[in-house]
């Protein structure tokens, strides 16, 4: 208290009291601000894979929240100590739901403990792991069609890192923002309105991020003909975060687990796909070279973005910490980074 009085010396008695009160309030405000709890939201950009991924190489987008957990796949809550958070995204054909939430480690590796993640995986092993986790935890999502879940649903929800490389763009969040998100998602009907062109997984991620930071993320009319794509969201979020240091943008790469499963493909935007994917580029170039030239210029001026951007590849043992915002020293690699 003596230091505050010293700063207010020379003031009249009444003014000195007001001065001291102001300084005390400033001190407590700064103390509260310094101890404000922060969490993280990570935009996960997942590479396309398989036949459909070669036709539509935009990939998938999801959001990881390190302080929001799943009471059920459709009910959110705050995490308890020791819980690693949840990955939430929009899917096209899961019980007519708009979104599904899966805990982080099962989402990436189809197991509940990192110690159980295999260093090398084949299709049969991954299939068995997915079915075991789904049987124990995803009963509410089981469909009536035999074999449909194993082929179509579980690969979207659990064990994603076996089939895709993932790029993470992490920003900070506050307790208040997380609580508002939980209240909003639990209080709104979870009914699908999926549309590949106007209401896809990237639109979901865009809307969720904008609920934290309004107007932070936008689609591109020129690069993607107004279709929201995962790559454009990453570009938009990166640009926004670099102009707002308080978001503390952090980028990492989660590699695809080594094994016999085919490697995923490079993410591309809409115009980029038409310009750089041979099956499209050849047809357009032959029948309308002027259109192709125009699209190439469009891509070069507004569509380029490096998802990797020299981000570190994080081995499985450190991924939970890295996604929670802990800075990881250059590790001894558990998985071999892909070219």
Regions of the chain with pLDDT less than 50: 1-7, 20-36, 331-339
**Statement to judge: residues 240 and 187 lie in one domain:** yes
- The confidence score (pLDDT) of residue 10 equals 53
Q: Is there a domain that residue 53 lies in?
A: yes
Q: Is there a domain that residue 330 lies in?
A: no
For residue 335, CA distances in Å to 121, 155, 254, 308 come to 12, 21, 10, 17
**Statement to judge: residues 62 and 142 lie in one domain:** yes
**Statement to judge: residues 52 and 171 lie in one domain:** yes
**Statement to judge: residues 151 and 112 lie in one domain:** yes
Total domains in the chain come to: 3
- The confidence score (pLDDT) of residue 219 equals 93
**Statement to judge: residues 12 and 108 lie in one domain:** no
Q: Is there a domain that residue 331 lies in?
A: no
- The confidence score (pLDDT) of residue 43 equals 98
**Distance from C-alpha of 85 to C-alpha of 70, rounded to nearest angstrom:** 8
**Statement to judge: residues 86 and 48 lie in one domain:** yes
- The confidence score (pLDDT) of residue 8 equals 53
- The confidence score (pLDDT) of residue 4 equals 38
**Statement to judge: residues 239 and 300 lie in one domain:** no
Question: Is the CB of residue 24 less than 8 Å from the CB of residue 4?
Answer: yes
- The confidence score (pLDDT) of residue 334 equals 44
Q: Is there a domain that residue 21 lies in?
A: yes
And the tokens for 56? 């539509």
Q: Is there a domain that residue 214 lies in?
A: yes
Domain of residue 283 covers 268-306
Q: Is there a domain that residue 280 lies in?
A: yes
**Statement to judge: residues 177 and 246 lie in one domain:** yes
**Statement to judge: residues 203 and 289 lie in one domain:** no
**Statement to judge: residues 127 and 225 lie in one domain:** yes
- The confidence score (pLDDT) of residue 261 equals 96
Question: Is the CB of residue 206 less than 8 Å from the CB of residue 212?
Answer: no
- The confidence score (pLDDT) of residue 16 equals 54
- The confidence score (pLDDT) of residue 221 equals 92
For residue 55, CA distances in Å to 60, 82, 218, 276, 285 come to 14, 41, 24, 12, 18
- The confidence score (pLDDT) of residue 328 equals 62
Q: Is there a domain that residue 338 lies in?
A: no
* pLDDT tens figures, 247-280: 999 999 999 999 999 999 999 999 999 999 988 9
Whole-prediction pTM value? Answer: 0.85
**Statement to judge: residues 182 and 275 lie in one domain:** no
Question: Is the CB of residue 108 less than 8 Å from the CB of residue 319?
Answer: yes
- The confidence score (pLDDT) of residue 28 equals 36
**Statement to judge: residues 136 and 204 lie in one domain:** yes
And the tokens for 124? 């049969």
Q: Is there a domain that residue 23 lies in?
A: yes
- The confidence score (pLDDT) of residue 329 equals 61
* pLDDT tens figures, 14-73: 555 555 444 444 433 333 334 446 789 999 999 999 988 889 999 999 999 999 999 999
β partners of residue 169: 43, 251
Positive or negative torsion for Cα 67, 71, 75, 78: negative
């Amino acid at each position: 208290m003596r230091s505050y009085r010293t700063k207010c010396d020379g003031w009249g008695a009444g003014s000195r009291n007001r001065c001291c009160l102001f300084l005390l309030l400033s001190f407590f405000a700064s103390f509260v601000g310094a101890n404000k709890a922060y969490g993280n939201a990570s935009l996960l950009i997942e590479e396309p894979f398989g036949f459909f991924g070669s036709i539509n190489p935009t990939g998938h987008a999801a959001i990881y929240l390190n302080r929001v957990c799943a009471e059920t796949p459709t009910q959110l809550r705050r995490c308890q100590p020791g819980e690693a958070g949840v990955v939430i995204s929009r899917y096209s054909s899961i019980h007519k739901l708009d979104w599904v939430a899966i805990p982080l480690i099962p989402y990436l590796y189809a197991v509940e403990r990192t110690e159980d993640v295999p260093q090398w995986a084949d299709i049969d092993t991954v299939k068995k792991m997915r079915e075991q986790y789904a049987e124990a935890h995803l009963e509410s999502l089981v469909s009536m069609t035999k074999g449909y879940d194993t082929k179509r649903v579980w690969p979207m929800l659990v064990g994603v890192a076996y089939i895709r490389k993932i790029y993470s763009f992490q920003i900070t969040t506050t307790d208040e923002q997380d609580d508002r998100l939980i209240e909003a998602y639990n209080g709104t009907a979870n009914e699908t309105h999926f549309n590949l062109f106007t209401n896809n997984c990237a639109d979901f991620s865009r809307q969720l991020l904008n609920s934290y930071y309004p107007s932070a993320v936008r689609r591109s009319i020129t690069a993607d003909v107004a279709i929201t794509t995962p790559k454009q969201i990453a570009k938009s979020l990166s640009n926004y975060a670099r102009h707002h240091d308080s978001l503390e943008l952090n980028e990492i790469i989660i590699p695809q687990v080594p094994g016999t499963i085919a490697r995923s493909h490079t993410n591309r935007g809409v115009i980029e796909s038409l310009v750089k994917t041979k099956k499209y580029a050849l047809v357009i170039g032959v029948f309308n070279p002027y259109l192709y030239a125009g699209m190439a210029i469009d891509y070069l001026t507004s569509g380029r973005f490096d998802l990797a951007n020299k981000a570190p590849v994080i081995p499985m043992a450190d991924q939970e910490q890295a996604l929670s915002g802990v800075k990881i020293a250059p590790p001894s690699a558990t998985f071999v980074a892909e070219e």
